[in-house]
A and B are shown apart, each in its own frame.
Chain A
């Protein structure tokens, strides 16, 4: 059976990536809220957020996507590929395609304007399965977004390479 899982690839298992730090601003939350069609003033106005019991302007739950994408993509043009995506920090493997698999989130709280978020990333699992047209490699990344040592969002995201 053909395999994508070489020894060099296996060595990537349990790889931990450098922690990235992102400071969330009210402007970041406002842009995300507008882009996703939110209208509740708790995402735009501090007084409205406080009146609803929040400590500051609060982000909608899917805002964590910004914390995943920004540290990877905020690079000069010459550090991005022709298609605009960052050079892949994934195991060395000859692939013909990638598919997004499943995303699983656990959420405990929310992100607020002023939060300093520590974004942790780990390649938690690397498994090969036989697909209909050849081997498929399942990469499971674990992300953790912490504010002051409290994990607000934990994400497991599986990418499928073929």
Chain B
């Protein structure tokens, strides 16, 4: 590959602190009616969560963007997702800051593999990974 990109390269971190409005926007955009993402009294009193959980797929979207925006600005070319495997390992709650991080793990021609993870990075919370994934993009 002509680009200066190699396994081990760290992606530029992106941070998100989704608030209740952003959770509502995501629920509305996908027409997700599940109460735990917008009804705080129900979620804490009935379901026993400490707050509104941040949607797993929203975190997965943040992580896909992390790769796309980093590689597109680094390479000056469009990249497109071809494979993505992700897993939610712990909940993240509204108001917590999520640090989205990743690194390049393989470069094969125009295909780039990255590992990515979101972790709570917040002095007021239990820190740790909430969503982890691996994805392949193709540079065009």
A: residues with CB less than 8 A from B are 28, 31-32, 34-38, 52, 60-62, 65-66, 69-70, 73-74, 80, 83-86, 100-108, 110
With A84-B34, A103-B87 known to touch, is A31 a contact of B64 (CB < 8 Å)?
no
Q: Are A102 and B85 in contact (CB under 8 A)?
A: yes
B: residues with CB less than 8 A from A are 16, 22, 25-26, 28-36, 39, 42, 46-47, 56-58, 60-62, 64-65, 78, 80-88
18 contacts between A and B (CB under 8 A): A34-B29, A35-B28, A36-B65, A37-B16, A37-B65, A60-B65, A62-B57, A62-B61, A62-B64, A66-B30, A69-B32, A73-B31, A73-B34, A83-B35, A84-B33, A103-B60, A106-B83, A107-B84
Q: Are A73 and B65 in contact (CB under 8 A)?
A: no
Q: Which residues of B contact A80 (CB under 8 A)?
A: 33
Q: Are A61 and B81 in contact (CB under 8 A)?
A: yes
Q: Are B26 and A36 in contact (CB under 8 A)?
A: yes
Q: Are A73 and B85 in contact (CB under 8 A)?
A: no
Q: Are B87 and A101 in contact (CB under 8 A)?
A: yes
Task: Tell me, in angstroms, the Cα distance from A52 to B78 when the chains sit together.
Answer: 10
Q: A35-B58, A105-B85 are in contact. List 9 more A-B contacts (CB 8 A).
A: A35-B29, A83-B35, A84-B33, A84-B34, A84-B39, A100-B56, A107-B80, A107-B82, A107-B83
Chain A interface SS verdict (over half): mixed
Q: Are B87 and A102 in contact (CB under 8 A)?
A: yes
Return the chain A residue nearest B25 by Cβ.
A35
Q: Which residues of B contact A35 (CB under 8 A)?
A: 22, 25-26, 28-30, 58
Least CB distance from B133 to A in Å reads 9
Return the chain A residue nearest B134 by Cβ.
A104
Q: Are A69 and B85 in contact (CB under 8 A)?
A: no
Q: Are B30 and A69 in contact (CB under 8 A)?
A: yes
Return the chain B residue nearest A102 by Cβ.
B87
Q: Which residues of B contact A110 (CB under 8 A)?
A: 80
With A35-B22, A103-B86, A108-B82 known to touch, is A65 a contact of B47 (CB < 8 Å)?
no
Task: Tell me, in angstroms, the Cα distance from A100 to B83 when the chains sit together.
Answer: 19
Q: Are B88 and A36 in contact (CB under 8 A)?
A: no
Task: Tell me, in angstroms, the Cα distance from A107 to B22 when the chains sit together.
Answer: 26
Task: Tell me, in angstroms, the Cα distance from A35 to B22 when the chains sit together.
Answer: 7
Q: Are A61 and B64 in contact (CB under 8 A)?
A: yes
Q: Which residues of A contact B60 (CB under 8 A)?
A: 62, 103
6 cross-chain pairs, A with B, having the tightest CB-CB distances, nearest first = A35-B29, A84-B35, A35-B25, A62-B61, A31-B29, A61-B81
